Structure 1
Amino acid sequence: MTDARTHLDPATPTLDAMGERTITDLLEEQAGQFGDRTLIVFEDRTGAITELSYAEVRDRAHRCAAGLAARGVGRGDYVVVHLRNCPELLVAWFGMARLGAVFVPSNVANTASEIGHIIATTGARRAITEPDLVEPVEQAVADAGGGLEILVARGAAGSHARFEDLLETGGPVPDDQARSMDVCELIFTSGTTRKPKAVMLTHANCLRAGLDSVHCLWLTPGERCLTALPMFHVNAQAFNLFGNLTVGGTLILLEEFRASKFMRQVREHEATQTCLVAMQLRTLIAQPVDPAERDHKVRRLFFAINVTDEEKDAFEERFGIELINGYGLSEAMTLLACSPIAGPRRWPSIGLPSPGRRLLLLDDEGREVAQGEVGEIVVEGTPGRDIMLGYLNDEEATAAALHGRLLHTGDNAYADEKGYLYFFDRKKDMIKRAGENVSAIEVESTLLEHPQIAEAAVVGVPDDIRDEAVAAVVVPTEPGVLSEQEVIDYCREHLSKFKVPTLVTFATQLPRTSIGKIRKDELRKELTGAPAPPPAG
């Protein structure tokens, strides 16, 4: 008998758990069910605490939508949000979502030039920020020729409109204008290009992220997930926001991470789960021992690669918290693989594919590699539901990453005999710095705009705390015309702090292969003393 499945085209729609729903539907459903249950506990930098229930977040989102609509925001409009972790960021997002508008979070480390790139890419006409972050937004707007309205939240607005006044506009609550496959947010991500690309994520992508988190991390009703990870990245959005919202949990949102306070905050907020990046794990291990540091309710802590055997063992033994490793990326709304909660972990494996996810390991010819061989991680799925729709206004980059239902991640891994995945390296020219991705090409392009720099190459070198340091090798137009500090200061004017090189060296020429490609392996050897493999040609 012929298997009927062989007659299905891979593009044929199939039933999935997201359905034809939006993040507005999710908030409405959960607010209707949980009402007075606390959705957000927010602790700001001063230690002041604000709590909002499910119903209160829904009601504020309704009022925000009405206020934005009164100012002309509608379906398909882009709104830049340059805020630290705070309830206003989430209220703004859900308000926009109801209108079918698009949330465009901006890293608060972004310079005016980087914010200007976001504005130019999206054509956004509005931005939301806060008093001590308004200056680079104002500069970006001025550089763009004006015409973009700035709203200021969380304090004095000066000559700008107050975000809080949106909530008092009045008027009817707009109907939900969005659809499941509409773009819900843009995430600007570094990769192999001169400028960050805008990843288009839909409402379905966001709902999928919540479900992945629930299934992989065994989130349950009443969960209390604490995070200091920024909400302008997908990690905190997927695990802490949408994971919690999906099960009716509580999001404990910290405005910032402070190693000296973190374990106390975990105890006081009675957190049950949390997530950190590798750098934060290291800073916690380095803290003085607190006799009460094991007196907590945290069952597990999720992180993503870059932790050594010694660091993992030291953390688990000291704090009594189980570490769960995983892998993901913005283009797939994060959690693609995860260590099993029950069953062997096979450390340092990044785990098994998340439920319903299909991951392939392919060679450069697009063929699956054998067990134990290194191949590129490729995600099979439906664009706009399992993986991104593409990059906004960048057909070339979209075509390079998306081949039909296949998303090429640019990351290499291998699998063992049980199917467990092990991260190997990045095909992309990217540096991991304290949980942030830094495009070497973006930093190089910035350096090459300096009139006294003829050539530049940027590589990552080991950093005991922050994963990798950004190192620049610069060939000046003339010997002695530049100092290391001048190069660093120039980069600070144009790049986010985490992208600025911390190590600058000068050379008369860059090492190259026979076909003219810069030998970055040789540069790493010179900078670190590590051996370089022979050139590939």
Structure 2
Amino acid sequence: MDSMTWIQRNDLLPHILRRRAEESPDRVYLRHVDGTSLTYRESYEASLLWANALRGVGVTAGENVLSLLPNSPDSYHIWVGLSWLGAVEVSLSPDYRGRMLSYTIGTADAKLLIVPAHLLGRVGEVTDELPSLRTIIVVGSDDVSLPTLPQRLIRSADLCSGVAPSLPAGVHEPAPWDVCCMIWTSGTTGPSKGVLVPWAEMYSFCHVLSGVVENGDKTYHFLPPHHNSGKVLYYGAVLHDIPMVMRETFSVSRFWSDVRDYEVSHAVLFEPMLRMLLNAAPQADDVDNSLRRIGTAPVSDHLPDFLRRFGLEGANTFYGMTEVGLPFASDGIDLANLDSCGALRDDFYEVRVVDDHDYPVAPGQVGELIIRSHHPWIMNVGYYGMADRTAGAWLNGWFHTGDAFRVDEAGNYYFVDRLKDAIRRRGENISSFEVEAYVNEHPDVAATAAVAAPSELGEDEVKVVVVRVDGSKLTPAQLVNWLIPRMPRFMLPRFVEFVDDLPRTEATFRTRKVELRERGNSSYTWDSEAAGVVVPR
């Protein structure tokens, strides 16, 4: 796209879906592994039905609406439906529970929540803490008895009964500057933050698929809608008219059978997924599959082995954040090397690698990556309800990523490390602050620090370094088993290490987490996986 060609309404998902429904109404563009399939017309009408149904219970422009739905057609129909009302979809991880769930629901200032029936009990545990929440829409509840809660409960079948799949009265025509969703990103020195993502930014994410997918391709969609990855893959498939095959979550055991059964040619596999597939025992028919290209980030040293073993043409890579989109990407499936995250997408972005005072460092030197855009509205418009956090991220006219980078003379960019304390585990961004809050609730814990520890699958594992109260005999196994029913599964620490005290700075007494990370694991570190701890789903 020419840098002077501004993003228009017609580039946005709701308008594209409407156009597809008008031009190719009976084209099947989505097949779910449960056997259902959808045409463009059916999806467009489903989005209109949800728009009218939600308007009927009072949803208005600018309102935040929460969703706990997993990766499913309904999740995306609701997202598009809310856009026709000018409302903002706030998608939460179905794995949230307890304080994390009440915090995100409460912080979003939402009056309405959409939840699958099997998660209603988890929501019921925190509803007394949510005075702003007025209505709960329960999906898939036809044969389920609904509990008595302080909120009004409505079955989705009742909500949508008799509703017409037409553009709602006073329809809002989504524009590039409209906020299309709020996505939660990990907190670093504080709680998780709700990132306000405009439609133009979401489009810039999807545009990176140009030159990667081609006519005749079919993509595999198992990424979560509460991440930009799930939304981008859905939007990108509709944008490029690439049919998709949908599964609720990634499955190692079903991946290749799904690829073969549905003739999938493209998928996005983050590094841990790639390693899981590569670690499976080799089969005689490994190359007998339709997959041709993958997107992956970061690039793994094992990528050449993966491509060779499964007979793929190649892979593209990228770097991005919920706050900024994707400033770097490879040139199609031509990777500069196995370390770079790509070159600058200079039709959209301007970047610098800077020192502590925002002055650029020389090529090859490490500094913080800061970003701004050539186009309006292709970066976040702030953290919801957190003006101080927004101002702290935007300094001197640039968004400060908190990530350490370097760039070589050829213009290839390299992610070096996180300057923040976030932990990335199996595709989830985890706030060390929130992990610590859970651990500190244990009566035998005096202090704790959560840090990233290396994983055999790449990315990170969660490690907690804990100071027990005087006289406590608490064991690592007792602590983890106490945490299991209280915190999200993906946040649970794998490693636990007890210490007499945490290293702290002299001036502010903050924990020196860099020192804890550099220490690594030792003979005193307990490993829940090695101990055989089973975490129920």
Q: TM-score w.r.t. structure 1 length? A: 0.89
The structure 2 residue matched to 1:102, chosen from 85, 88, 91, is 88
Mapped to 1, the partners of 2:214 and 2:131 lie a distance apart of 49
The structure 2 residue matched to 1:71, chosen from 57, 60, 63, is 57
Question: CA offsets, 1:411-468, max 9 Å, x none?
Answer: 1111111000111000011112111111212222333344432221111111102632
Partner of 1:349: 340
Instruction: Confirm or deny: 8 A CA contact 2:363 2:409 kept in the other structure.
Output: yes
Mapped to 1, the partners of 2:290 and 2:427 lie a distance apart of 25
Shift of 1:22: 4.5
- Written as runs of structure 1 = structure 2, the 5 A alignment for 1:332-481 is 332-333=324-325, 335-341=326-332, 343=334, 345-354=336-345, 355-381=347-373, 385-403=377-395, 405-465=397-457, 467-481=459-473
Relative to structure 1, the CA distance from residue 271 to residue 452 in structure 2 (aligned partners, 3 Å threshold; closer, same or farther) is: same
Partner of 2:150: none
Instruction: Confirm or deny: 8 A CA contact 2:339 2:414 kept in the other structure.
Output: yes
The structure 1 residue matched to 2:230, chosen from 228, 231, 236, is 236
- Alignment partner of 1:387: what SS? coil
Instruction: Confirm or deny: 8 A CA contact 1:18 1:207 kept in the other structure.
Output: no
Partner of 1:195: 191
- Alignment partner of 2:484: what SS? helix
Instruction: Confirm or deny: 8 A CA contact 1:275 1:301 kept in the other structure.
Output: yes
Amino acid aligned to 2:255: F
Question: CA offsets, 1:64-83, max 9 Å, x none?
Answer: 11111111111111111111
- Alignment partner of 1:67: what SS? helix
Question: CA offsets, 1:259-294, max 9 Å, x none?
Answer: 111011112111121001211111101222333332
Amino acid aligned to 2:156: F
Matching of residue 113 in structure 1 with residue 113 in structure 2: no
Partner of 1:158: 145
Structure 2 gap ranges (5+): 147-152, 524-537
Relative to structure 1, the CA distance from residue 488 to residue 370 in structure 2 (aligned partners, 3 Å threshold; closer, same or farther) is: same
Shift of 1:387: 0.7
Mapped to 2, the partners of 1:479 and 1:382 lie a distance apart of 59
- Alignment partner of 2:188: what SS? coil
Once structures 1 and 2 are overlaid, which stretch shifts more, 164-173 or 351-360? 164-173
Amino acid aligned to 1:512: R
Partner of 1:535: none
Partner of 2:176: 180
Instruction: Confirm or deny: 8 A CA contact 1:63 1:168 kept in the other structure.
Output: no
Mapped to 2, the partners of 1:494 and 1:377 lie a distance apart of 36
RMSD across aligned positions (CA): 2.4
Mapped to 1, the partners of 2:460 and 2:51 lie a distance apart of 42
- Alignment partner of 1:213: what SS? coil
Once structures 1 and 2 are overlaid, which stretch shifts more, 512-521 or 129-138? 512-521
Matching of residue 130 in structure 1 with residue 102 in structure 2: no
- Alignment partner of 1:209: what SS? helix
Amino acid aligned to 1:464: E
Mapped to 2, the partners of 1:407 and 1:61 lie a distance apart of 34
Query: What fraction of aligned residue pairs are identical, expressed as a percent?
Result: 28
Shift of 1:222: 4.2
Once structures 1 and 2 are overlaid, which stretch shifts more, 278-287 or 221-230? 221-230
Instruction: Confirm or deny: 8 A CA contact 1:453 1:477 kept in the other structure.
Output: yes
The structure 2 residue matched to 1:223, chosen from 217, 220, 226, is 217
- Written as runs of structure 1 = structure 2, the 5 A alignment for 1:194-343 is 194-214=190-210, 217-238=211-232, 240-305=233-298, 307=300, 309=301, 311-321=302-312, 322-333=314-325, 335-341=326-332, 343=334
Once structures 1 and 2 are overlaid, which stretch shifts more, 478-487 or 349-358? 478-487
Amino acid aligned to 1:176: V
Once structures 1 and 2 are overlaid, which stretch shifts more, 159-168 or 388-397? 159-168
Amino acid aligned to 2:187: G
Mapped to 2, the partners of 1:449 and 1:458 lie a distance apart of 14
Matching of residue 30 in structure 1 with residue 20 in structure 2: yes
Structure 1 gap ranges (5+): 1-12, 531-537
Shift of 1:38: 1.8
Question: CA offsets, 1:474-514, max 9 Å, x none?
Answer: 11221324332343244334431111212212111112344
Amino acid aligned to 2:185: T
Mapped to 2, the partners of 1:210 and 1:348 lie a distance apart of 23
Mapped to 2, the partners of 1:465 and 1:324 lie a distance apart of 20
Aligned residues: 508
Q: TM-score w.r.t. structure 2 length? A: 0.89
Instruction: Confirm or deny: 8 A CA contact 2:8 2:175 kept in the other structure.
Output: no
Instruction: Confirm or deny: 8 A CA contact 2:110 2:133 kept in the other structure.
Output: no
Mapped to 1, the partners of 2:140 and 2:112 lie a distance apart of 17
Mapped to 1, the partners of 2:367 and 2:8 lie a distance apart of 30
Question: CA offsets, 1:165-201, max 9 Å, x none?
Answer: 4333325531431433121100011031332100001
Relative to structure 1, the CA distance from residue 101 to residue 221 in structure 2 (aligned partners, 3 Å threshold; closer, same or farther) is: farther
Moved over 6 A (4+): none
- Written as runs of structure 1 = structure 2, the 5 A alignment for 1:497-516 is 497-515=489-507, 516=509
Instruction: Confirm or deny: 8 A CA contact 2:465 2:498 kept in the other structure.
Output: yes
Instruction: Confirm or deny: 8 A CA contact 2:47 2:80 kept in the other structure.
Output: yes
Instruction: Confirm or deny: 8 A CA contact 1:205 1:385 kept in the other structure.
Output: yes
Once structures 1 and 2 are overlaid, which stretch shifts more, 223-232 or 412-421? 223-232
Relative to structure 1, the CA distance from residue 21 to residue 348 in structure 2 (aligned partners, 3 Å threshold; closer, same or farther) is: closer
Shift of 1:370: 0.6
